[in-house]
Amino acid sequence: MIVQRKGARLLSRSIYRLFSTKAKETESSTQSNHAISNKQLLFTTDPVSPGSVFFLPHGTRILNKLIQFMKNQQVKYGFQEVVTPLIFKTKLWQKSGHWDNYKDDMFKVVGNDLSKEEHTDNIEEHEYGLKPMNCPSHCMIFAKFDRSYQELPVRYSDFSSLHRNEASGALSGLTRVRRFHQDDGHIFCSLDQINQEIKNTLTLIKDTYSIFGINEIEFYLSTRPEEKYIGDIETWNKAEDQLKNVLNSTVGAGNWKIREGDGAFYGPKIDVLLTDAFGKKHQVGTIQLDFQLPNRFDLKYVGEDGNRDHQPILVHRAVYGSLERFFAILLDHYQGKWPFWINPRQAIIIPINETHVPVAESLQKRLSGEMLNGEDAIAPLTSFNFYVDIDKRGETIGARTKEAIQKGYSYIILIGDKDIANGTFAVRTRDDRKVKNMTSNEIYDTFVQLEKSYK
C-alpha cells in the first residue's frame, strides 16, 4: 500500500516542494568501480570461474548499449559482422604462429571421450585451443572464396568472446580478466589502402571516445619484439614506417610515443591508452599492421593486372579493446552517473498512491516503446525503448525520490491527482531539483532526442 497523507491535497505545493528539495544530492568522493557496481548491481564474479565476469541485468544493459553503438559505427565504416567458432584444433594455431608464440597464454581443450573423435590414435587431432583472438578465423573466411581487387578492402567485425590464460594473481575485476569480449575488426586491403584504413580507424577512435567525454588520449607505436616474432626484419621495418607516417599525419608528430619491443609477434601496432579516475593507465584501442598472417594462410586476390598471386595486407583493429576494461573505465569516469542514453535506469515513475498506479503503468508502457505488456503478440524489432521502472512502495515521496537519486535514475517522474487532471506529469532530473510539467508525448520525444544525440 502506498501511503496517502491525511488532511492534505495529494499534489499540493508542499508535496511538490518535498519532491524537489527533500532528496538533496550529496557529493561523494571518487569510488572504485567495485563499490559502484555493488550499489547499482552491475556485475559480479565468483571463484568457480576466475577471471570471468557475471554481468547482472543492469550491467548487461550497459554492455549491450556499448555493443550496439559500435555495431552501428562498424556499418558506417563498411564492416560486415561475422560470428566465428570458439575452439579450433591446435593445428590452426600452429599455422597462425600462435602455438609457438602465444600458447602459454592460451587454454587447451580436450574431450573426455576420445572415441567421439576421428584419428583417435593421434592426440594432436583432437586437441583444441580456446581462441584468444579472432584473426585466424577471419583469415579462414577470406580464404574460403576467390577474391578480386575490386572487393578490397574486405572488413570483418566480430564480438565473440575470447579467452586468455592470465596469471591468477594478475586478475583484477573488469580490467584484467580471462574471458572478455572485444569490438574486434580485421581489414584485408592492398598496400595503397593501408594509410586510409588506419586514418579511418584513428578517426573512429577519437570520435568514439569524445562521445563519452574522454578527450585525453595517448598514442604509442609498439615496435618489433626482441625475441618472439615472425617474419623478416625488413618487412617489420616497412610496417613500422607505415604506422609512423599515419600517426604523424593523423595525430601529429610529437603527439605519440614509441614503446620499443612491445609489438605483437606478427606485426607492429598503435596502442591507445586512457587514464582512469584514479590516474591508472589502461590500453584500450589498438591498430596492428600484419604482413605475416596473410602469408601463413596463403591469402590471395586477383589484381587489376589479372595476376592471382596478389597478397592482401591485414590490419587488426579495435576501438574499445576489451569491452570489460572499457566498461570499468566508464564506471570510474562517470562514477555511476551514467548519461541518459547508456543508463540502465533511465527513468522511474513515482505514483503518490495506489489510485495513480494505472496511469503510471500506462506511462511506463508508452516510454518503453510499447514493448512492455504490448498488445501485439510479438514485440517490434526496432523502436526507441527506454528502461523505466515504477516505485509503488509504501514510502514517502521524499524517501522514494532520494533512493531513486542514489540508484542513479536519470529522470524522476511524479504522478498525482493534479497531474492526471491536467494530463501532465511532474518531471525532474537526477541533478536538477527544478520540476517541469510535461505530457507523455513530450517526455517520450525528450528521451528520443537524448538517445539520438548520445546525451
- Which uninterrupted H or E stretch holds 321? strand 313-322
Beta strand residue intervals within 71-131, DSSP E: 80-81, 87-89, 108-110, 127-130
Residue type, 102: Y
What is the longest distance spanned by two Cα atoms in the chain?
90
Query: In whole angstroms, what is the distance from residue 251 CA to residue 245 CA?
Result: 10
Do residues 365 and 372 touch, judged by C-beta distance below 8 A? yes
Q: What Rg do the C-alpha atoms of the chain give, in angstroms?
A: 27
Cα–Cα distances (Å) from 55 to 52, 63, 173, 407, in that order, read: 10, 8, 12, 17
Q: What is the pTM of this model?
A: 0.88
Degrees to nearest 5, angle at CA 353 with 348 and 359: 60
Catalogue the active-site residues.
135, 164, 182, 184, 186, 269, 316
Query: In whole angstroms, what is the distance from residue 445 CA to residue 58 CA?
Result: 24
Query: In whole angstroms, what is the distance from residue 144 CA to residue 126 CA?
Result: 23
For the structural domain made of 29-86+131-334, what CATH number should be given? 3.30.930.10
Sign of CA dihedral 291, 295, 296, 301: positive
Residues 6+ apart with CB under 8 A from 434: 20, 428
Q: Would you write out the chain's pLDDT as a tens digit for each of its 455 residues?
A: 444 444 334 444 444 554 554 444 434 456 777 888 888 999 999 999 999 999 999 999 999 999 999 999 999 999 999 999 999 998 999 999 888 888 889 998 887 766 676 665 566 667 889 999 999 999 999 999 999 999 999 999 999 999 999 888 878 788 889 999 999 999 999 988 998 999 999 999 999 999 998 888 999 999 998 887 878 888 888 888 888 988 998 888 889 999 999 888 878 899 999 887 777 888 899 998 888 899 999 999 999 999 999 999 999 999 999 999 999 999 989 999 999 999 999 999 999 999 999 999 999 999 988 666 666 777 777 778 899 999 999 899 999 999 999 999 999 999 999 989 999 999 999 999 899 999 999 999 999 999 999 99
Q: Which long-range contacts (CB under 8 A, 24 or more apart) does 401-408 make?
A: 401/19, 401/22, 401/23, 401/350, 402/22, 402/23, 404/23, 404/348, 404/350, 404/430, 405/23, 405/25, 405/430, 406/39, 407/39, 407/40, 407/345, 407/348, 408/40, 408/336, 408/337, 408/338, 408/343, 408/345
Do residues 181 and 164 touch, judged by C-beta distance below 8 A? no
Query: In whole angstroms, what is the distance from residue 425 CA to residue 438 CA?
Result: 5
At the top level of CATH, the class of 340-453 is alpha beta
Cell numbers found for residue 415:
504522478
Cell numbers found for residue 91:
593445428
Q: What ranges do the domains of the chain cover? A: 29-86+131-334, 340-453
